[in-house]
Structure 1
Amino acid sequence: MKRNIIAIAIILALFGCNAEKKDYASTDKGSMADTTATVELPAEKIIKTADMRFRVKDVQNTKEQLSKTIKAEGGTVAEFSIESSIQETDKVKQSTDSLKEITSYRTQGYLVAKVPSEKLDEFTNTIAKIAVFVDNQSMKMDDQSIAYLSNKLKAQNRVDAIEKINKVASKKSTNVESSLYIKDDYVDRRIENMQIDSRVKFSTITLNFYQDNTVKTMIVANDNLYDYRPAFINRLWLGIVNGWTIFKEIIIAISNLWMLILVGIAIFFTIKHFIRKNKLAMDEATKNMIDQARQ
């Protein structure tokens, strides 16, 4: 009898658990169906970017004019630079201490601007009027509507998850770490959507512009030191004076060596005496040989 009661209790418990699982599953399906049914596509999130390369009369004036136009359209300049590269240079002698420097250089400008998206076409038309001619221009449209919706739904899911974690809040480290991770991910999704909104509102346009090669002349100092030497007559006279100075220095140097000079003279006369003596002896011997031969 006891065994039958226990078996009936187990069967009832199993049926109860199955029923709870079916109710929970149906509830989840219903909530997912409700979520799917309430999803609405956001307004179009079209990001526009444009590029232009064009030739102008003067790069600096064009940069100033573009800045004014961008400001008038409600945009901002994000980045700009102007660079001049020397193509060729030469120096021609102008006078003894000056040269005429002739330089050919090329100037280019680079500017990145953010303008309201609805005024992008109007802005590009204005640039085309400023340019001497346009080398190329392009525009790209990127639809971020789906990515925006994905971030929005995921952010909402994070909010729901955080609320559920808070309801069963505990001091366990796993719950705290999960909550922090979910919150950080929620912030990332919100930031991404804010960036998309900003890029949709303001389009980015990159401008590359240049002008014809410019030739500029200017007078500069002569850096050739040879040209600064005195004239020939002056240099000749200076050479004579310098030679006389060197000669005097040699005489002074010799005067410091008078002992050596005396020794040298003594050696010279000694050698000369022995040479003369040997010559006389040889002459006398030769004379005796001749006399003997005659006899």
Structure 2
Amino acid sequence: MKTIVKLSVVSFVIMALLFSCKKGEAPAEDAALESSTKVTDAISSSAAVEKKGDNRKFIRTADLKFKVKNVPQSTYAIENATNKFGGYVTYTNLQSTISDQIETKISQDSILETTKFSVENSITIRVPNTKLDTLIKVITKQIAFLDYRLIKADDVSIQMIKNQLTQNRKANHQKRLEKAIDTKGRKLNDITIAESDLENQKEQNDSSTIENISLQDQVNLSTIKVQIYQPESLKQEKITNTKDKNNYQTNIGIEILDALKNGWYMLKEIIIFIFNLWAILLIGTISFIVYKKYLHK
């Protein structure tokens, strides 16, 4: 009976300890989750989202700059997310900038090259207006440190209405001019002036149309500019020492052997040259003997 009571007490103590440990871990997990949620909420924005039945038109843009762990990997993640949400990347400039380069001689023919560099990328994204916040929330997963976040919403409703009214007015004026030219234009001078005025009206109408199309495109597709960078990196590489010419000079023993060979070749060439002149030497010898015996006296 005592043994059973002891086991019950031990079991109760163990359960109490486990419960207290779980209770202690829960606040830490909640705090981490809350911190992550705060970062996401700080980056994303619901500013100027178009509501149903609202005729307002907003051009929404976002500018972000933040540090990441690895720029190439974050670039691929952002590009994949952009494609997933129906957007596209219009500009990306991934590059490395060398801040310092040190060369340390480690042997007669080898150098240890130490390079300090930073990697950064500038990305421009066009994404459907309704997916702007969603894409920004996905991008926040890559953030190690946030430099800044700027989100703008420009209301262009009035401008688009103004352009539409201008289009209608120019179109009506254009029709009246065309009708006047066809029915009332008699003199060449009057027709020329009317035609010139008509051309100006068409050009202004086209400009208003193009501007409205451009504004509507910016309303439909939001623009996100992202600048990402990573901590300065260090790369070490063993390379061949090509700067010290002394490392490539021939050994003195080989140079002496080559000198002996060259001397022998020169001597051989001289002997051969002399033997090639045997006829001249023979004539000269005979001439000398004749001179000594006969001509000299």
Question: Same fold per TM (> 0.5)?
Answer: yes
Report the AA paired with residue 189 of structure 1.
Answer: S
Counterpart Cα distance in 1 of 2:115 and 2:170: 65
Residue pairs, 1:153-164, within 5 angstroms: 153-164=165-176
The partner residue of 1:216 within 223, 235, 246 is 235
Question: How far did residue 47 of structure 1 move?
Answer: 0.5
- SS state of the match for residue 198, structure 2? helix
Residue 227 (structure 1) aligns with:
247
Counterpart Cα distance in 1 of 2:134 and 2:148: 17
Counterpart Cα distance in 1 of 2:249 and 2:195: 86
Counterpart Cα distance in 2 of 1:60 and 1:226: 42
Say how many residue pairs are matched.
Answer: 204
Residue 73 (structure 1) aligns with:
85
TM-score (norm 1): 0.64
Residue 222 (structure 2) aligns with:
203
Question: How far did residue 67 of structure 1 move?
Answer: 0.7
Alpha carbons 1:86, 1:105 under 8 Å: kept: yes
Residue 34 (structure 2) aligns with:
none
Counterpart Cα distance in 1 of 2:246 and 2:197: 81
The partner residue of 1:176 within 186, 195, 199 is 195
Report the AA paired with residue 75 of structure 1.
Answer: G
Residue pairs, 1:278-289, within 5 angstroms: none
* 1:98 lines up with 2:98 in the alignment: no
Counterpart Cα distance in 2 of 1:118 and 1:134: 24
TM-score (norm 2): 0.63
- SS state of the match for residue 203, structure 2? helix
Counterpart Cα distance in 1 of 2:69 and 2:105: 32
Report the AA paired with residue 203 of structure 2.
Answer: D
Report the AA paired with residue 218 of structure 2.
Answer: R
- SS state of the match for residue 212, structure 1? coil
Identity across the alignment (%): 26
Alpha carbons 1:128, 1:134 under 8 Å: kept: no
Counterpart Cα distance in 2 of 1:223 and 1:119: 55
Residues 8-47 of structure 1 show CA distances to partners (whole Å, capped at 9, x for unaligned) of: xxxxxxxxxxxxxxxxxxxxxxxxxxxxxxxxxx921110
Question: Structure 1 pair 234/91, CA: closer, same or farther in 2 (3 Å)?
Answer: farther
Residue 136 (structure 2) aligns with:
124
The partner residue of 1:191 within 202, 210, 228 is 210
Question: How far did residue 98 of structure 1 move?
Answer: 2.5
Question: Tell me, which stretches of 5 or more residues in structure 1 are unaligned?
Answer: 1-41, 246-295
Structure of higher CA gyration radius: 1
The partner residue of 1:61 within 73, 83, 104 is 73
Counterpart Cα distance in 2 of 1:134 and 1:120: 18
Counterpart Cα distance in 1 of 2:160 and 2:180: 31
Residues 229-259 of structure 1 show CA distances to partners (whole Å, capped at 9, x for unaligned) of: 245x649x75xx69xx8xxxxxxxxxxxxxx
The partner residue of 1:144 within 141, 153, 156 is 156
The partner residue of 1:135 within 135, 147, 152 is 147
Residues 51-96 of structure 1 show CA distances to partners (whole Å, capped at 9, x for unaligned) of: 0001111111111111100000111101010111111111122333
Report the AA paired with residue 246 of structure 2.
Answer: Y
Aligned structure 1 segments of 4 or more residues deviating by more than 6 angstroms: none
Report the AA paired with residue 198 of structure 2.
Answer: S
